[in-house]
Chains A and B, each alone.
Chain A
Amino acid sequence: MKDMLDIIVNIFPYAIAFTVPLLITALGGLYSERSGVVNIGLEGLMVVGFFAGAVTIKALEVAIPNFSIVIGLVVGTVAGVIFSLLHAFASINLRADQVISGTAINMLAGALTVFLARTITGSGNIGIRLGIVRWDVPLLSKIPVIGPLFFSNTYYTTWIVLIIWGLSWFLLYKTSFGLRLRACGEHPHAAASAGVNVIRMRYIGVMFSGGLAGLGGAVMIATYAGEFNGTVAGLGFLALAALIFGQWKPLGILGAAFFFGFARTIANASQVIPQFESFPPLVLKIFPYVVTLIALVLFSKSSKAPKASGQPFDLSGK
């Protein structure tokens, strides 16, 4: 039993590290979809943040070692916002098919970042020397059981992300901004008749998704990735699945992201955990994806998706 606990304590930080980018990206997707724009391009936006963060940190880590990472996180976020404007413009102003536009973003991000990376380092991989140093929360990490589990060996980005998550919940449900945003995703004409600028709201929603996904990518390089290699290995799509699994609610997304984070970690750490040695590695590796499919089956039927999500808003109608 103690072994089990030890193992859990050991893998917990990894699981959390894996969960955090997933959570923040899914949260970004929430903003976009709640405003009425489907954003499949989360994967590409993460790659953009991943790349921008890596480049920034690498460029600054010698000169300003203490702040290079924070700046890298900010740059990653901003890069995500800017890149998302492509999707916003296409989907909102030009009323393009949002799934195609999102796919174009993914392809463009993947190709462009490797293209640029290659001009910087011939191989296209950008490695940084030092990521965030892990840290025990004073006092809280001393609490038995919970302390070692949640409050030791943490990255500060985890706390930043959780704070953003909390603020988001407040923003969406307790403020006029949130009310209007959600109206744009459920019934944009009603919002328009009430004087809400739907176009502007949707731009904000998409830009939030870009920023948060970019942050997610930047968090990856700062915490566990260590090196930009051109892809986030499907994490952006996993975030999309977490969004559906979480039924478009902040609390649900938190749970879904944790679940996926743990599933992935178990798959990767299977060699370390003796109990799992008997499972063929294939099963462990495909476990998160299969579970996602099952989750989708269970949750897609009674979909609580924002009603107007994915439909272009056309004021000049009848």
Chain B
Amino acid sequence: MKKDYTGIVKSLGAVLLGLIAGAILMVAIGANPFKGFFFLFRGGIQSIERFGNVFAIATTLILTGLSVAFAFRTGLFNIGAAGQMLIGGLCATVVGLSFDSLPRIILLLFMFVAALLGGAIWGIIPGLLKARFNVHEVVATIMMNWIAYWVVYYTIGNYFTAGLETESATLPAVAQLRLPWLTKLLNGSYLNLGIVISVLAVIVIKFILDRTTLGYELKAVGFNRHAARYAGIKVNRSIIMSMMIAGGLAGLAGLTYYTGYSTNIQIGILPNQGFDGIAVALLGATSPWGVFFSASFFGLLHAGKGFMSANTGIPPQISDTIIAIIIYFTATSLFIEKLWKKFKAGRAEKKKISTGGDEQ
């Protein structure tokens, strides 16, 4: 029973420590931490539009978080979510701009599939390299990120800009994930169909991991690839399959970001959400619903940072810094675990004393 709480305690502990570190930083540059956090968190909830934006931002993070978390379960470190996101977004945008005469549902379906496939392919490549050639996926996925960066740069730049210099043409309404009635309902928030996609993804991934033979195999490979091999599981195939799914998820993240939250692709940028996905996955203890909640938390932090910056002069990078510190603390969770154990031991000790227990 205690086991179940330890994971949550570790995550909450990391968040707390990260926020404290953030407060220290604010003080260091001469700002008032209370004001800073007040505006930071209020920024996300103070209006229905802002609240919608929290989840609009979270949408993409849920998917990149799932991508990284899923790969983690198989023992792989997917730092390539950013590149997979770009390629997924590229495919979706290209389809959206080129086939805008199709009825909306068909078009969106095409775009969905295109993003899924694009991301999947971008994930399979490092997966293959790892399975067959033992290439470490960290360096391989970083290279893939930069290759994706330039592919988008020149593909959009040469064929799809329609006159603009550094971004693609705006997608026609029929190709966007935005729902006009939703946007109006939430006073202009960016919330879109993407949130449905991401929640569905959470449910599907959880199902795969917990209830299917595929999930059983992937987890076994992640926990102990020797025993998995002994059991007859094809380890290489699992690695490739895992990266394919992880890539597909990140591709969908690109779909939701570039055709939902935003309505075009800007070139020359490696999307931060790819790396934030790592933070989301770690904070969410690589469980699907954990990812959902930590992505929402990060959405809150990001939604409010502009508001905070405008009102206090604290640079918005404080959010990214806090997130990075939280990650550091989840990695060093042993530290938090020790504190937690000391705390519990201390309480047990106090109880002994108060009930007239043994002497020291």
Task: List residues of A whose CB falls within 8 A of some B CB.
Answer: 40, 86, 89-90, 94-97, 99-101, 103-105, 107-108, 110-112, 114-116, 118-119, 124, 234, 237, 240-241, 244, 280-282, 285-286, 289-290, 292-293, 296-297, 300-301, 303
30 A-B pairs (CB sep. < 8 Å) = A90-B328, A94-B332, A95-B334, A101-B332, A103-B79, A104-B325, A104-B327, A104-B328, A104-B331, A107-B278, A108-B327, A111-B321, A111-B323, A112-B25, A112-B317, A112-B321, A112-B324, A115-B315, A115-B317, A115-B318, A124-B315, A234-B146, A282-B154, A289-B147, A290-B147, A292-B139, A293-B135, A296-B129, A301-B133, A303-B134
Chain B residues with CB under 8 A of A285: 150, 153-154
Asked if B45 CB lies within 8 Å of chain A CBs, one says: no
Q: Is the CB of A100 within 8 A of B320?
A: no
How many whole Å from A149's CB to the nearest CB in chain B? 29
Q: Is the CB of B154 within 8 A of A99?
A: no
How many whole Å from A96's CB to the nearest CB in chain B? 4
User: What separation, in Å, do the CA atoms of A317 and B29 have in the docked complex?
Assistant: 45
Chain B residues with CB under 8 A of A240: 138-139
Chain A residues with CB under 8 A of B133: 296-297, 300-301
Interface contacts beyond A94-B335, A112-B324, A118-B315: sample of 5 additional A-B pairs, CB < 8 Å, sorted by A: A104-B324, A107-B323, A124-B317, A293-B135, A293-B140
Q: Is the CB of A101 within 8 A of B328?
A: yes
Q: Is the CB of B139 within 8 A of A114?
A: no
Q: Is the CB of A301 within 8 A of B324?
A: no
User: What separation, in Å, do the CA atoms of A244 and B134 have in the docked complex?
Assistant: 12
Q: Is the CB of B29 within 8 A of A119?
A: yes
Of the residues B79, B143, B324, contact of A241 by C-beta under 8 Å? B143
Chain B residues with CB under 8 A of A296: 129, 133, 135-136, 139-140
Chain A residues with CB under 8 A of B136: 244, 296, 300
Asked if B197 CB lies within 8 Å of chain A CBs, one says: no
> What 1/0 flags go to B133-163 for Cβ under 8 Å of A?
1111011101111110011011000000000
Chain B residues with CB under 8 A of A100: 282, 327, 330-331
Chain A residues with CB under 8 A of B323: 107, 111
How many whole Å from B317's CB to the nearest CB in chain A? 4
Of the residues B142, B147, B282, B324, contact of A237 by C-beta under 8 Å? B142
User: What separation, in Å, do the CA atoms of A237 and B153 have in the docked complex?
Assistant: 21
How many whole Å from B326's CB to the nearest CB in chain A? 9
User: What separation, in Å, do the CA atoms of A281 and B155 have in the docked complex?
Assistant: 11
Q: Is the CB of A300 within 8 A of B77?
A: no
**Which residues 149-196 in B have Cβ within 8 Å of A in the complex?**
150-151, 153-154
Q: Is the CB of A97 within 8 A of B331?
A: yes
Chain B residues with CB under 8 A of A112: 25, 317, 321, 324
User: What separation, in Å, do the CA atoms of A104 and B321 have in the docked complex?
Assistant: 10
Q: Is the CB of B321 within 8 A of A108?
A: yes
Closest to A289 in B: B143
Asked if B37 CB lies within 8 Å of chain A CBs, one says: no
Of the residues A94, A292, A300, contact of B143 by C-beta under 8 Å? A292
Of the residues A111, A281, A286, A290, contact of B324 by C-beta under 8 Å? A111
Q: Is the CB of B129 within 8 A of A96?
A: no
Asked if B297 CB lies within 8 Å of chain A CBs, one says: no
User: What separation, in Å, do the CA atoms of A300 and B320 have in the docked complex?
Assistant: 34
User: What separation, in Å, do the CA atoms of A96 and B14 have in the docked complex?
Assistant: 14
User: What separation, in Å, do the CA atoms of A303 and B135 have in the docked complex?
Assistant: 10
Q: Is the CB of A96 within 8 A of B331?
A: yes
